[in-house]
Structure 1
Amino acid sequence: MALVQLRQVAQARSGDKGNTVNIAVFASDASAYEVLIREVTAERVKAHFDGLVSGEVTRYLVPNLHAMNFVCRGALSGGGSASMRMDNLGKCYAASLMRLEIEAGDSVNLSKS
């Protein structure tokens, strides 16, 4: 198995509402989606954002789209208007999650584009 960054098998979008960040992750195909289900858990996402996400992280599977959605609570130090962070929005969370390293099997196509 190869250790790869999530960006090699998936794409993502994120946004925010108040103090909550939403991250949608889309696998490139069915075999990559199976890897995502195994490797990209709510616990791993919470650990990846250690120090940034203080609340619960919930994962929702969307199998018909080969996608998953993460809702990260307590992710913006109070929200856009309350945060002292330089970047107080959730738009950057998807790009950051793409650096998560996962174990990909040999059957996974690493050229997602």
Structure 2
Amino acid sequence: MKLREIAHSRTGDKGNVSTISVIAYDEADYPLLVRHVTAERVAALFAGIGAGPVARYELPLLGALNFVVAGSLGGGVTRSLALDPHGKGLSSALLDIDLPALPHAAGSTV
């Protein structure tokens, strides 16, 4: 199952730092996010763009995780030659990671 099946995402930027929030559609799925969407996994996903350290903040009352990804914007909006200098596409890339299937997830046959 893809992360996008149980969560949506928003991305922001500040200088050369991207913030990516992952928000569960259903609060019952939040523990799955906590267990499987780790700072280490996000860092590995974005290692190819030269991203620096990744910090994860848990927001259980919102059913959300917030990741702060340093060095992920090619020097920042005014310095980057990237097609997506604000890093808005990073949220889409994050939502493409695989998670274990849930019996109650959308499209499940269980």
Length-normalised TM-score, structure 2: 0.89
Kindly provide the amino acid, as one letter, of the partner of residue 46 in structure 2: F
Query: RMSD of the alignment, in Å?
Result: 1.4
Alignment of 1:69-84 (within 5 A): 69-84=66-81
Instruction: State the number of aligned residues.
Output: 107
Report if aligned partners of 1:27, 1:33 keep a CA contact under 8 Å in 2: yes
Report if aligned partners of 1:35, 1:104 keep a CA contact under 8 Å in 2: no
Structure 1 residue runs of 4 or more that deviate by more than 6 Å after TM superposition: none
Aligned to 1:110: 106
- What runs of 5+ residues in structure 1 fail to find an aligned partner? none
Cα displacement (A) at 1:53: 4.3
Alignment of 1:1-113 (within 5 A): 4-106=1-103, 108-110=104-106
Identity in percent = 42
Higher strand residue share: 1
- What runs of 5+ residues in structure 2 fail to find an aligned partner? none
- Decide whether aligned partners of structure 1 residues 53 and 11 sit closer, same or farther in structure 2, where only a CA change above 3 A counts: farther
> What SS does the aligned partner of 2:47 have?
coil
Length-normalised TM-score, structure 1: 0.87
